[in-house]
Copies of this chain bind each other. A is one copy, B any other.
Amino acid sequence: MSSEFRYQRRVQFAETDLAGIVHFSEMFRYMEEAEHAMWREAGLTIAERGSDLGWPRLNAALEFRNPLRFEEEFEVWVRIAELKTRTIEYEFTLVRGQTVIAVGTMTAVCVRKLPDGTMRAAEIPASIRHALEAL
């Protein structure tokens, strides 16, 4: 559960803004891309077709240390800090070479979607828990 997964990425043009650097909101997308790649590494998908499970975010936070620019290659290091009954707490570090771009956290909660479209927090299924713990 404490092992780290590393996701590689390159900055795309549309992710930059008029300041010439990656827009900060894109960094949150990078976080999530790394999370989902980690799930694939565990043999899982965060959005299984036909499933009533969902994983909305309870919170997300980033500290920005250095800018990222067009075409730069970087990595997102993601680690599960805590796997609770219903929530997963992730820790992230974005790095370009030896330079830390950003550090942050995100918490996802396991929910079941009800027929009326609302969501109710639910226990993380054992199969998912075990696959994530085995990373």
Interface size class on chain A is 35 or more
User: A39 — nearest CB in chain B belongs to which residue?
Assistant: B71
Known pairs A19-B56, A56-B19, A60-B24; A119 contacts B67 (CB<8 A) = yes
CB of B64 within 8 A of CB of A57, answer yes
Dominant SS among interface residues on chain A: mixed
User: A63 — nearest CB in chain B belongs to which residue?
Assistant: B59
Q: In chain A, residues 51-102, which have Cβ atoms closer than 8 Å to a Cβ of chain B?
A: 54, 56-64, 67, 69-71
**Contact among B36, B50, B60 for A13, CB-based, below 8 A:** B36
Nearest CB in chain B: distance from A59 CB, A: 5
User: A61 — nearest CB in chain B belongs to which residue?
Assistant: B61
